[in-house]
């Protein structure tokens, strides 16, 4: 389902001032495609209560019974019909327990991996409650939402807003509004004053509206539900702002009559962080919260499960295992392996050592799995202990949660979730945030053992991070492996330097759930290549912007270069160096293809060579040099390729039959499009990306325009310019003045904020 269906056209929503769209900046493209209704729910059609409980860790007083089926929930009839029309069949595991908790007004912390349904876990029951609850009528009259949802980025805010609009389409209420810095705030006053039941905003944007309008346009006097959608970032990066919002939320509660005092806090997160831990213990612990985990990887961090690492040579794997079992007598031990063959070998080895163990792998019939599960739950196992060897992909069938010892015999090759789910075996003994729930737990708590060898370099970086977050010690051997792996990744010349690092001097994806795939270290052989030695490393340049990639990131042609700043005195002013290679190459290219014999295109069966430069006729008698970067899926039997327009900065996907061969004297000329960054600015409110409005403003104002900039740094074909300005000559005087600055335009318009450390960080990595 496309999110544009049934919604306002995104090209006109909040983007009225934009008159022209580059294809890569069209806002409707950023939010097109399927949403969670289709992609994430159908996998849980056959879920039952025991399945749900086995896939969750739930801590708190009176944990609700999971709601496994849509028909059995108390969600409003309109919402049920809406969800069914979108092929929603059943809640995900985390939704099955969060729904009844939210419906009953409990404070909730929900932690789960991306796309596990956390947003709809609170959104669906709260929207249903607003649709059906009559108690809201007793609230004081005035402006302000019933529900405030905060997210740390404008993209997150817009995603939640669109999902809310989908849930509430074809009905008048609840009415939803959106606020975020960088272009969304302008003109929203009337919309919010006229009635806003659900407000989705970034913290800084909400506080600006609250304070600038002295609580007359928006306040929290009627707010009953405060939601932190991405708690891991909000509570770590925006802690002061969240503290202000919470103070306002509680102050507003005191403003009401005591009989209608109602305050509900909901926090969703993909990871367990120090900020979230502090929030739970300092803010929520006395408010009878419920804490839910659908990621046992994060649950292990939350419970600080002791994980002991054993480093050994591959041939001593079993010796280490025997030592672990020797120290775990009379305990229930689960040994996890990633492969069936490994599980069988471990079981045989233990038998040869006269150690009884149970075995489960994916080729055993369900009757045998059930028999092993019954043996595990027997009184003998409970009193004398037992050992189970199990393959990862059938571990969920056992529903084991009462082991006290977990042994990672190996590391899953490509699945973080498989590694994390192993900790579900220890769930029954994981430490709770409620001290009284821990009195019945073993004094030492559950223990996990990790057996590693020198062959485990691939997951070493993630393992070091995991052990550190769990508060467990990291052996020197593992740290060395991790350092070697990081060095290999950071020195991979085939990986491009991170765009966020170049744009802002930082990349938050390094510490997020989804790791940044790009390089974050300068490589002299690549970034200081002699191919680009003709480009200036200092002085001032005159450029023409050929492509706007984002508000501070362009591709451009260099027309002129001064070794000393433009505008110096006559005695010190250097003569401008003209860059005429571009014009000469373009003339040669057009002259070459003016001859019909050179215009032969590739035949249908010919597959272009990746990394080779060809010619492409983009319009009549206009030719671009293009670099083939990858093969695209075939269409109608024709080969398609993705190409970079190396002299313009564009990228496109075209049929291979449109490409033409180039002679070496044209294909080997260096690309003329240089990458340009405007320095010392970042998205408003320290967001991680520029808003559509900021990108479109820059595109409309500066695309295809001549700009002057001072070169403060160069790496390869990338220039950092500060300042970057547009100049014009004054009539009758002949003097030139600055008519516009990229940095000032964005900051004055409220699209950007200062980034004073940008250049310092760039020079440091340089």
Confidence at residue 50, expressed as pLDDT on a 0 to 100 scale: 39
More confidently predicted of 11 and 415: 415
336 and 224 in a common domain? no
512 falls in which pLDDT band (50, 70, 90)? Answer: low
**Domain contains 683:** yes
Looking at the predicted structure, is the pLDDT value of residue 19 above 80? no
Instruction: Please check whether residues 242 and 322 belong to one and the same domain.
Output: no
5 against 159, higher pLDDT: 159
> What would the pLDDT profile of 171-209 be if each residue is shown by its tens digit?
878 999 999 999 888 888 999 988 899 999 999 999 999
Residue 25 pLDDT exceeds 80: no
The whole-number pLDDT of residue 565 equals 59
Tokens of 618: 């983009």
pLDDT in tens, 66-98: 988 888 888 888 899 899 888 888 899 999 999
- pLDDT, one tens digit per residue, over 272-312 is 999 999 999 999 999 999 999 999 999 999 999 999 999 99
Q: Residue 197 maps to which CATH number? A: 3.40.50.300
CA distance 626 to 610: 11
| % residues pLDDT > 70 (the chain) | 90
Closest among 77, 113, 76, 71 to 90, alpha carbons compared: 71
The stretch 299-327 carries a mean pLDDT of 94
The verdict on residue 54 lying in a domain is no
Q: Are residues 208 and 120 part of one domain?
A: yes
Domain count, the chain: 3
The pLDDT score that the predictor gives to residue 129 is 93
Q: Is residue 336 part of a domain?
A: yes
* Alpha carbons 464 and 307: distance in angstroms, whole number: 11
pLDDT at 52: 46
Helix spans in 470-580 (H): 476-490, 499-504, 524-527
Q: Where are the beta strands (DSSP E) in 208-361?
A: 225-228, 264-269, 290-293, 306-311, 332-337, 358-360
pLDDT at 477 over 90: yes
* Cα separation, 553 vs 98, whole angstroms: 42
Whole-number pLDDT of residue 183: 86
Q: What is the largest CA-CA distance in the chain?
A: 101
Rounding to the nearest 10 degrees, give the CA dihedral for residues 397, 400, 406, 412. 20
Contact (CB, 8 A) for 757 and 505: yes
Is residue 365 domain-shared with residue 455, that is, in the same domain? yes
pLDDT value at position 414?
Answer: 72
Which residue reads 């408003």 in tokens? 684
Q: What is the pLDDT of residue 49?
A: 38
The answer to whether residue 40 scores a pLDDT higher than 50 is: no
| One domain for residues 185 and 279 | yes
Range of the domain at 397: 304-433+442-475
Whether omega before 174 lies within 30 degrees of 0, making that bond cis, reads yes
**Do 679 and 744 fall into the same domain?**
yes
CB count, 10 Å around CB of 155? 17
Contact 331, 324 (CB under 8 A): no
Please answer whether residues 143 and 193 qualify as being in contact, where contact means their C-beta atoms are separated by less than 8 angstroms: yes
**Number of C-beta neighbours around residue 596 at 10 A:** 7
Q: What pLDDT is attached to residue 74? A: 84
Q: Are residues 202 and 344 in the same domain?
A: no
**Is position 495 within any domain?**
no
Is the model's pLDDT at 517 over the cut of 90? no
With a cut of 50, say whether residue 39 has pLDDT above it. Answer: no
- Residues in a beta bridge with 274: none
Catalogue the E-assigned strands of 40-113: 57-60, 108-111
Could you tell me the pLDDT band of residue 573, with boundaries at 50, 70 and 90? low
293-316: b (≥16 Cβ within 10 Å) or e: bbbbbbbbbbbbbbbbbbbbeeee
- Please report which confidence band the pLDDT of residue 490 belongs to, taking 50, 70 and 90 as the band edges: confident
Q: Do residues 657 and 640 make contact, with C-beta atoms less than 8 angstroms apart?
A: no
Residue 458 lies in a domain: yes
- 344 occurs within a structural domain: yes
Mean pLDDT in residue range 27-32: 53
> So what's the pLDDT on residue 133?
83
Segment 111-140 mean pLDDT? 91
What's the angle, vertex CA 290, arms to CA 288 and CA 295, rounded to 5?
A: 155
Residue 567 predicted with pLDDT over 60: no
pLDDT-based confidence at 53, cuts 50/70/90?
low
The domain spanning residue 570 has which CATH number? 2.40.50.90
282 and 330 belong to one structural domain: no
Looking at the fold, whether 242 and 335 belong to one and the same domain comes out as: no
The 10s digit of each residue's pLDDT in 711-735 is: 999 999 999 999 999 998 887 777 8
pLDDT for position 569: 52
| Model confidence pLDDT, tens digit, residues 418-445 | 999 999 999 999 999 988 777 777 777 8
pLDDT number for residue 742: 97
pLDDT at 260 over 80: no
Confidence check: pLDDT of 48 > 50: no
Confidence of residue 9 (pLDDT cuts 50, 70, 90): very low
Q: Which of 295, 319, 351 marks a domain boundary?
A: 295
187 and 223 fall within a common domain: yes
Domain boundary among 252, 273, 295: 295
**Residue 227, beta-bridge partner list:** 149, 266
Q: Do strands 332-337 and 225-228 pair parallel, antiparallel, or not at all (unpaired)? A: unpaired
Asked if the model's pLDDT at residue 570 lies above 60, the reply is no
At which residue do the structure tokens 């405030």 appear? 148
The sign of the CA dihedral 168, 169, 174, 178 is positive
**Domain membership flag for residue 398:** yes
pLDDT band at 314 (very low <50, low <70, confident <90, very high): confident
Q: Are residues 287 and 356 in the same domain?
A: no
pLDDT at 231 over 50: yes
Predicted confidence (pLDDT) at residue 57 exceeds the cutoff of 70: yes
What CA–CA distance (Å, rounded) separates 257 from 255?
A: 7
Q: Check residue 96 and give its pLDDT.
A: 93
How far is residue 541's CA from residue 527's CA, in Å, rounded to a whole number?
20
What distance in Å separates the CA atoms of residue 641 and residue 643, rounded to the nearest whole number?
Answer: 6
Please state, rounded to an integer, the average pLDDT across all residues of the chain: 88
C-alpha distances out from residue 340 to 325, 344, 395, 749, Å: 21, 6, 12, 61
- Which residue, 265, 295, 325, sits at the end of a domain? 295
Residue 191 · residue 233 · CB < 8 Å: no
**Mean pLDDT, residues 470-492 taken together:** 92
Q: Please check whether residues 288 and 218 belong to one and the same domain.
A: yes
Collapsing DSSP to helix, strand or coil, 642 comes out as strand
Note the pLDDT of residue 186: 86
What digits encode the pLDDT tens for the residues 632-651? 998 888 999 999 999 999 99
Would you say residue 568 has pLDDT above 80?
no
- Asked if residue 693 is part of any domain, the answer here is yes
pLDDT at 17 over 80: no
Out of 6-15, 493-502, 708-717, least confident range: 6-15
């Amino acid at each position: 389902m496309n999110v544009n269906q049934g919604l306002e056209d995104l090209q006109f929503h909040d983007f009225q001032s934009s008159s022209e769209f580059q294809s890569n900046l069209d806002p409707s493209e950023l939010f097109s495609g399927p949403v969670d209704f289709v992609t994430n729910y159908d996998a849980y059609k056959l879920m039952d209560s025991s399945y749900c409980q086995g896939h969750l860790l739930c801590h708190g007083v009176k944990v609700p019974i999971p709601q496994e089926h849509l028909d059995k929930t108390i969600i409003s009839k309109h919402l049920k019909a809406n969800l069914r029309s979108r092929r929603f069949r059943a809640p995900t595991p985390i939704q099955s327990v969060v729904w009844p908790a939210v419906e009953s007004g409990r404070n909730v912390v929900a932690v789960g991996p991306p796309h596990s349904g956390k947003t709809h876990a609170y959104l669906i029951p709260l929207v249903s409650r607003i649709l059906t609850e009559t108690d809201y009528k007793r609230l004081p009259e005035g402006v302000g939402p019933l529900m405030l949802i905060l997210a740390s980025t404008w993209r997150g805010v817009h995603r939640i807003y669109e999902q809310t609009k989908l849930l509430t389409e074809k009905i008048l209420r609840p009415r939803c509004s959106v606020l975020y810095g960088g272009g969304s705030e302008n003109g929203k006053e009337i919309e919010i004053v006229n009635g806003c039941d659900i407000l989705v905003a970034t913290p800084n944007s909400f506080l600006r509206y609250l304070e600038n309008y002295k609580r007359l346009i928006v306040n929290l006097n009627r707010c009953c539900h405060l939601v932190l959608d991405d708690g891991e970032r909000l509570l770590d990066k925006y802690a002061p702002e969240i503290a202000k919002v919470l103070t306002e939320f509680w102050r507003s509660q005191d403003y009401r009559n005591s009989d209608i005092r109602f305050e509900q806090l909901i926090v969703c997160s993909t990871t367990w962080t120090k900020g979230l831990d502090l929030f739970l213990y300092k803010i929520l612990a006395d408010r009878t919260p419920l804490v839910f985990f659908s990621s046992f990887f994060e649950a292990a961090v939350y419970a600080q499960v002791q994980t002991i690492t054993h480093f050994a040579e591959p041939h001593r794997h079993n010796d280490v295992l025997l030592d672990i079992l020797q120290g775990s007598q009379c305990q229930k031990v689960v040994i996890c392996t990633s492969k069936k063959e490994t599980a069988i070998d471990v079981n045989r080895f233990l038998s040869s050592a006269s150690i009884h163990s149970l075995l489960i792998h994916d080729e055993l019939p369900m009757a045998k799995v059930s028999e092993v599960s019954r043996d595990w739950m027997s009184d003998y196992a409970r009193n004398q202990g037992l050992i189970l060897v199990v393959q990862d992909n059938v571990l969920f069938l056992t529903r084991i949660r009462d082991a006290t010892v977990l042994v990672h015999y190996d590391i899953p090759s490509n699945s973080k979730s498989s590694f994390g789910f192993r900790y579900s075996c220890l769930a029954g003994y994981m430490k709770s945030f409620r001290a009284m729930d821990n009195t019945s737990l073993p004094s030492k708590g559950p223990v996990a053992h990790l057996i590693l060898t020198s062959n485990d370099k691939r997951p070493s970086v993630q393992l070091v991070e995991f052990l550190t977050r769990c508060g467990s010690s990291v052996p020197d051997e593992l740290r060395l492996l991790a350092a070697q792996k990081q060095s290999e990744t950071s020195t991979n010349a085939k990986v491009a330097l991170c765009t966020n690092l170049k744009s802002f001097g930082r990349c938050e994806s390094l510490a997020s759930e989804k790791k940044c795939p790009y390089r974050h270290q300068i490589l002299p052989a690549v970034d200081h290549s002699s191919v680009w030695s003709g480009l200036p490393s200092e002085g001032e340049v005159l450029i023409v912007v050929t492509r706007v990639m984002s508000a501070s990131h362009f591709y451009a042609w260099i027309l002129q270069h001064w070794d000393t700043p433009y505008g110096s005195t006559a005695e010190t002013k250097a003569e401008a160096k003209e860059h005429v290679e571009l014009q000469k190459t373009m003339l040669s290219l057009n002259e070459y293809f003016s001859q019909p014999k050179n215009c032969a295109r590739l035949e249908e069966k010919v597959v272009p060579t990746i990394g080779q430069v060809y010619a492409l006729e983009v319009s009549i008698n206009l030719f671009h040099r293009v670099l083939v970067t990858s093969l695209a899926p075939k269409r109608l039997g024709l080969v398609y390729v993705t190409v970079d327009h190396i002299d313009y900065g564009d990228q496109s996907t075209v049929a291979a039959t449109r490409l033409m061969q180039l002679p070496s004297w044209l294909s080997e000329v260096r690309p003329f499009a240089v990458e340009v960054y405007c320095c010392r600015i970042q998205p408003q409110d320290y967001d991680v990306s520029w808003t559509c409005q900021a990108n479109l403003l820059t595109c409309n104002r500066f695309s295809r325009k001549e700009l002057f900039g001072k070169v403060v740094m160069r790496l390869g074909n990338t220039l950092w310019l500060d300042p970057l300005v547009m100049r014009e000559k004054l009539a009758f005087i002949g003097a030139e003045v600055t008519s516009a600055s990229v940095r000032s335009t964005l900051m004055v318009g409220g699209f950007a904020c200062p980034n004073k450390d940008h250049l310092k960080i760039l020079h440091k990595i340089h």
